[in-house]
């Protein structure tokens, strides 16, 4: 039987607004706009039959999940490996500062055809993020639910989606993707990225 996943990024934080990279070590809350985005996401998901939401433990993801789950009246379960990638020395820097400090890595970060071993100093590689996220989805195939919400973070989602043929792209807060596992085959598509 098919499993349907609705994978979404957390809502906006003040760090997102100022284009400051959070990674997994900065645990910020949603700003007011991020809370509104989460409520709008719940409306988009209202008729999709979600049975549960699995969420990163980071506050911005858990707060997004809580807003959605409350509106949809579904439970939340935390999976720590849905966290954002470890961006190493880039965490806490403005995007422009990251680009200035690590221009080659910064350019390669969003490229669809580069080496998956790319990582910021002391950080997790794109391949490590993809492997970590895919292991979570593989484990979720064993759960009893058929229609599952998953809340995670931009870089972790971006590199997971590459495994399913969706090229790296800049991702809006509360961007929404559908991933289906059916007959030993994974397919994915973008539902909303605005």
Q: How far apart are CA 127 and CA 35, in angstroms?
A: 31
Tens of pLDDT along the chain (194 residues) come to: 799 999 999 999 999 999 999 999 999 999 999 999 999 999 999 999 999 999 999 999 999 999 999 999 999 999 999 999 999 999 999 999 999 999 999 999 988 776 899 999 999 999 999 999 999 999 999 999 999 999 999 999 999 999 999 998 889 999 999 999 999 999 999 999 97
Burial 155-192 (b: 16+ CB within 10 A, else e): bbbbbbbbeeebebeebebbbbbebebeeeebebeeee
pLDDT of 112: 79
Residue closest to 153 by CA, chosen among 53, 57, 70, 74:
57
* Model pLDDT, residue 73: 98
Report the pLDDT value the prediction gives residue 168, as an integer from 0 to 100: 86
Return the active site residues. Answer: 10, 84
Q: How many domains does the chain have?
A: 1
User: Can you say how many angstroms the Cα of residue 36 is from the centroid of all Cα atoms in its chain?
Assistant: 18
Would you say 30 and 173 are in contact if contact means Cβ atoms under 8 Å apart? Answer: no
Q: Which domain range does residue 186 map to?
A: 3-192
Query: What pLDDT, on the 0 to 100 scale, is given for residue 148?
Result: 98
DSSP codes, 56-110:
-SSHHHHHHHHHHHHHHT--EEE-GGGSPP--GGGTTSBHHHHHHH-HHHHHHHT
- CATH number for 58: 3.40.50.1240
- Report the C-alpha gap between 61 and 65 in whole angstroms: 6
């Amino acid at each position: 039987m098919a499993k349907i996943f609705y994978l979404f990024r957390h809502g906006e934080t003040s760090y997102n607004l100022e284009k400051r990279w959070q990674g997994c070590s900065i645990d910020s809350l949603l700003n007011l706009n991020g809370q509104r985005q989460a409520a709008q996401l719940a409306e988009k998901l209202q008729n999709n039959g979600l049975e549960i939401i699995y969420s990163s433990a980071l506050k911005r993801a858990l707060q997004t999940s809580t807003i959605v789950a409350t509106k949809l009246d579904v439970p939340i379960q935390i999976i720590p490996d849905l966290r954002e990638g470890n961006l190493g020395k880039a965490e806490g820097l403005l995007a422009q500062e990251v680009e200035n400090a690590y221009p080659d890595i910064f350019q390669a970060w969003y490229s669809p055809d580069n080496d998956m071993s790319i990582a910021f100093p002391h950080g997790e590689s794109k391949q490590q993020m993809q492997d970590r996220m895919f292991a979570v989805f593989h484990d979720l195939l064993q759960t009893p639910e058929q229609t599952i919400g998953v809340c995670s973070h931009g870089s972790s989602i971006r590199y997971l989606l590459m495994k399913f043929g969706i090229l790296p792209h800049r991702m809006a807060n509360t961007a929404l993707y559908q991933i289906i596992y059916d007959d030993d085959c994974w397919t994915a598509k973008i539902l909303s990225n605005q």
